[in-house]
Amino acid sequence: MTENTSSTIVIFGASGDLTSRKLVPALYNLHRTGELPAHTRIVGFSRTPMSDEAWRHSLRETTANHTDDFDEPSWITFANNIFYQPGDIQKRSDFDSLQHKLDTIEQKRLATRVYYLATAPQFYWPVASNLGSLGMNDESHGPRRIVVEKPFGTDLSSAQILNSKLHSVFDESQIYRIDHYLGKESVQNILALRFANTIFEPVWNRRYIDHVQITVAEKVSVGRRGDYYDKSGVLRDMFQNHLLQLLMVTAMEAPVLFNAEAVRNEKVKVLDAIRPLDNDRVQAASVRGQYDGYRKEPGVSPASQTPTFGAIRLEIDSWRWQGVPFYLRSGKAMSCRTTQIVIAFREPPLKLFGGSESITREANRLVIQIQPAEGIQLHFHTKVPGEGMRLRLTDLEFSYSREFSGRLPEAYEPLLLDVMTGDASLFARSDEVEKSWEIIDPFVNVWESLELPPIPEYESGFWGPPVSAEWMEAQGRTWFDQCPVLT
Ligand SMILES: NC(=O)c1ccc[n+]([C@@H]2O[C@H](COP(=O)([O-])OP(=O)(O)OC[C@H]3O[C@@H](n4cnc5c(N)ncnc54)[C@H](OP(=O)(O)O)[C@@H]3O)[C@@H](O)[C@H]2O)c1
């Protein structure tokens, strides 16, 4: 961005939950800490009739509730740059009014414009199409970028259709498909851990790693999202996006440069190397479950077979990962809230201290915790002081909050800055999204087939159905069910 360029962030879905809980608090935090580029304006668009002042007032309340360090003077300077345009995404004439408002605010000067789709997926294309028909994608007055929230499609074919529609209006370089997990410090730190140090990379392969577990566990149930969730299920909700993103950063090769194309090329190569599975293999490589009481949730069918828990096993056919299973697992109403990646190293080749019952594969494990707290724990055996070779599991720990004083940025903060400055490294490319669906679709298809027996139930507050632990044990492994390891 050149120094003279200002920015306008146009949020479609201005009156919604994402805007008030995440986007505006993130932009406010950036403003308060001096990171938001000067001359950044926010323009909201949704049907609810409101004036600029009324939207500012409503955002003041929600932002104060969703930020730790709210202060009135910085809010006032921030709020001066907030505007609202009531309108319906389905009405082209309302985009004329939006265009007029933007021209007035920007005074037709050079400005970077970010169109943020914080609205339901069925509106992604209507917004893009209306923007295109009014030439609002044209870059002669500054860069024009569009941010697309998840979910991006519901399967491969819908993702392909959406991509091709978006490409009819915006160039791929203008499209930012967001997955806020990639904005988390600890996810980006995986790249630093692996590629800014020499000590991990030599052991980051099939020779030393037995398997990898990636878990996204939620303690909450579906709550009021029953209607959406019952049509989606855990695979579409979590696996195609967050879990595969985490798998890619864990498994990718070092890019030759740290730029968007090089990083995304390496991520896509991981997806290319994931072994395709036929229906029988999908069944053997996965476990599903539904928490008790799910069918009584509002909006959920009383006969629903929708999975609220899933675990799948993927194999990456590459020189680095051949024979190292990647277990991906996610569920609602689980025992606690955590997102963690467990790198389980192999057992030592010789059991020198065979007399000790404490030698297990529990040691030799690296746990990267992404939420609730962010950090890393390395688990290893230590000799207990005193007689004999008694061993105990101990750990080395790195905690972001202890190490770096002050506030950790919320995931949306760096991502919004990246869009404004045109860095797409942490956003999904079209081929990445389509390949992700290609991997997840067979699991969805088999799980949704009528031939499967009724879905196993699990007790809320546990780690999924008992069959999940049995499935791991049958493969000679156990889930790492401690949670959270860092607080
Ligand atoms: N909420 C989250 O934490 C979260 C997290 C990740 C991803 N997402 C994704 O972000 C998107 C928005 O989610 P949300 O939870 O914020 O949804 P939401 O609370 O239901 O908000 C939807 C927004 O769209 C607006 N809208 C609906 N129909 C419209 C129309 N015809 N014309 C103009 N505006 C219209 C609504 O405003 P009016 O009724 O005033 O028009 C509202 O502002 C979804 O794709 C969701 O999957 C949300």
228 close to 17: Cβ distance less than 8 angstroms: no
* 416: nearest Cα among 3, 112, 102, 119: 112
Please name the residues in contact with 198: beta carbons below 8 A apart, sequence gap of 6 or more.
none
Positive or negative CA dihedral for 48, 54, 55, 59? negative
Residue 179 CB less than 6 A away from ligand 1: no
The continuous run of DSSP H or E covering 309 comes out as strand 309-314
Q: What is the pLDDT of residue 3?
A: 44
pLDDT per residue over 221-247, tens digit each?
A: 999 899 999 999 999 999 999 999 999
Q: What is the pLDDT of residue 407?
A: 77
CA of 472 to the centre of ligand 1 (A): 39
d(CA 60, CA 72): 9
- DSSP assignment of 79-118 equals HTTEEEEE--TT-HHHHHHHHHHHHHHHTT--EEEEEEE-
**Residue 141 falls in the annotated catalytic set:** no
Q: Is 411 left (phi over 0), alpha (psi -120 to 50) or beta?
A: alpha
DSSP H helices in 218-347: 226-234, 244-251, 260-273, 279-284
d(CA 48, CA 476): 56
Q: What is the pLDDT of residue 487?
A: 82
Q: What is the pLDDT of residue 14?
A: 98
Q: Which parts of the chain register pLDDT below 50? A: 1-3
CA of 124 to the centre of ligand 1 (A): 11
Residue 165 CB less than 6 A away from ligand 1: no
Q: What is the pLDDT of residue 355?
A: 58
Residue 92 CB less than 6 A away from ligand 1: no
- Choice among 31, 180, 211, 242 that is catalytic: 242
Tokens 């053997």 found at: 284
Residue with CA nearest ligand 1 atom 15: 17
85 close to 41: Cβ distance less than 8 angstroms: no
Residue 121 CB less than 6 A away from ligand 1: yes
Ligand 1: nearest atom to the Cα of 47: 41
CA of 298 to the centre of ligand 1 (A): 19
pTM: 0.94
CA dist 131 → 45, 127, 142, 188, 357 (Å)? 13, 6, 15, 33, 66
- Supply the mean pLDDT for the chain: 94
Residue 118 CB less than 6 A away from ligand 1: yes
Residue 85 CB less than 6 A away from ligand 1: no
